Amino acid sequence: MGTIIKLDPVTRLEGHLKIEVEIDGSNKVVNAHSTGNMFRGFEKILVGRDPRDAVHLTQRICGLCPVSHAIASVKAIENAFGFKANNDAIVLRNLIQGSNFLSDHILQFYHLSVLDYVKGPEKSPWVPGYDIDMRLTAAETQAVINNYIKALEIRRKAHEMAAILSGKIPHVMSIVPGGVTKVPLSTDITKFKTYLTDVKAFIDNVYMNDVNLIAEKYSDYYSVGKGVGNLLTFGVFDTDTSGNTLFRRGTYKNGIIGTIDPLKVKEFTKYSWYSDDSGNRNPSDGKTDVMYAKTGAYSYLKAPRYDGEVYELGPLARMIINGEYTGNISVMDRHMARALETKKLAGQMVIWANMMTTSMKPYTQLKLPTSGVGIGLTEAPRGALGHWLNFSSQRTTNYQIITPTCWNASPRDDFGKMGAIEQALIGVTIADITKPIELLRIVHSFDPCTGCSVHVIDSEKNIKSEFVVS
Ligand code: NFE
């Protein structure tokens, strides 16, 4: 066996992810394992409850993408109820979810990734990181660091946009089965548009410039972290009540765009800490029964697959499948596609914002049926998100969630195929194995969130996480 490098936890991402790679004599990665070290358990919490509770409970999976969980959940519930939200609800939901996307993509670039390319000031919160291979000039570095600070203020404005229409963020209140409970006041509309103008200007003039600068200085990263090459998206931002979306759903394999059949989604558990009976199942009939210390297993993430194949998810998948991005698949393509998606979405949000009126009627009271089966497919910032619901006697009998990071950071499946991040790590050469910045750059380009994929509580000590800050 060659030398092993462990990053545990990988920092500057949400949740606790361990990455372990094996390198050969020339420091080239020849094997990789991605491990989610925590159990989420929301599927268990929901069983036995009123199915409408899922909208609020599943948002607590994560503070970064709660709106997408709300959307996936209401879609699953409304699908089971045989109801379609009206156009007013669609516009307001898009504005709330879109605000969350803008905030989250800016977060990913400035606060979770940029320090892989730009040296932060000494003795500051800009650590941990590896300050090697930093290629910007002193003046460029200072400008990007200034924009890092500015991005915090811009993210606050994007958050407030979501809160204006939903009561609060994270974990929005106004998105419920039947539509949206908030009708905007004229002051809300004015405030929302003012913030959107500021956020859009930052995206167009600052974020795009900084991504272009980094892409230019690190153009070799257009050839690093290519990975599996298959892309998948469930589509997002409804444009009508018939299921059409701004970003349409689809797959990309061998250069060909395909359609999505949700029945072809299956989760595998041979290498995951779940019972064998929890694997090889479509989530409509899914199981999430923990089996820690299972021989050969190494992650609390299951291995979701589409038609038996590994797929990469995220903004790059959405942009390529929609013909909005003509590049390839790599570390830098992921950053570039994410930035271009942010720019496109901010422009679209101006159109939706202009559709807001004080006479909108976005809510319809629904009656809870006795039983139902529903699927809610949308996109979170990090990629395709699905919620699957079954209920009878007005109580949830099964609820399964597959998050984008579960796909991207998955372990091997039953056929031994590595997950998308694992595959993207293979082949990269590490210049200094004491500072494996190449690994961080590859992993961060996927914007993983292990908090979404898994959650934990220590039942004896009641400790959620421990950190050592030096
Ligand atoms: Ni915790 Fe999430 C997004 C979801 S990632 S951020 O985007 O769902 O798995």
Q: For ligand 1, is residue 64 a contact (CB within 6 Å)?
A: yes
Q: How far apart are alpha carbons 282 and 265 in whole angstroms?
A: 6
Task: Indicate if the alpha-carbon torsion angle 68, 74, 79, 83 is positive or negative.
Answer: negative
Q: For ligand 1, is residue 453 a contact (CB within 6 Å)?
A: yes
Q: What is the pLDDT of residue 41?
A: 81
Q: What is the pLDDT of residue 121?
A: 81
Closest residue to atom 8 of ligand 1, CA basis: 403
382 C-alpha vs ligand 1 centroid, how far in Å? 6
Element spanning 247, H or E? strand 245-247
Q: For ligand 1, is residue 235 a contact (CB within 6 Å)?
A: no
Residue 379's Cβ-count burial label (10 Å; 0-12, 13-18, 19+) is buried
Q: Could you tell me which of 254, 253, 208 has the C-alpha nearest to residue 231?
A: 253
Instruction: Note the pLDDT tens digit of each residue in 154-191.
Output: 999 999 999 999 999 999 999 999 999 999 999 999 99
Q: What is the pLDDT of residue 318?
A: 98
ipTM: 0.95
Q: Is residue 460's pLDDT more than 80? A: no
Point out which residues pair with 272 in neighbouring strands: 299
- Average pLDDT value for the chain: 94
Q: What is the pLDDT of residue 126?
A: 66
Q: How far apart are alpha carbons 330 and 245 in whole angstroms?
A: 26
Q: Is residue 131's pLDDT more than 90? A: no
pTM: 0.95
- Is 62 among the annotated ligand-binding positions? yes
Q: How confident is the model at residue 455 (pLDDT cuts 50, 70, 90)?
A: very low
- What CATH number labels 3-453? 1.10.645.10
Q: Region of 169 please: left (phi>0), alpha (psi -120 to 50) or beta.
A: beta
Q: Residue 406: phi, psi to the nearest 5?
A: -60, -40
Q: What is the pLDDT of residue 279?
A: 95
Q: What is the pLDDT of residue 29?
A: 98
Ordered by start, the domain boundaries in the chain are 3-453
Indicate the top mutation candidate among 105, 232, 341, 385 to test ligand 1's pocket, ranked by most ligand atoms within 8 A of CB. Answer: 385
Please tell me the least confidently modeled range out of 196-210, 286-300, 402-416: 286-300
405 C-alpha vs ligand 1 centroid, how far in Å? 6
Q: How confident is the model at residue 468 (pLDDT cuts 50, 70, 90)?
A: very low
Q: Is residue 38's pLDDT more than 90? A: no
Beta carbons of 189 and 353 less than 8 angstroms apart: yes
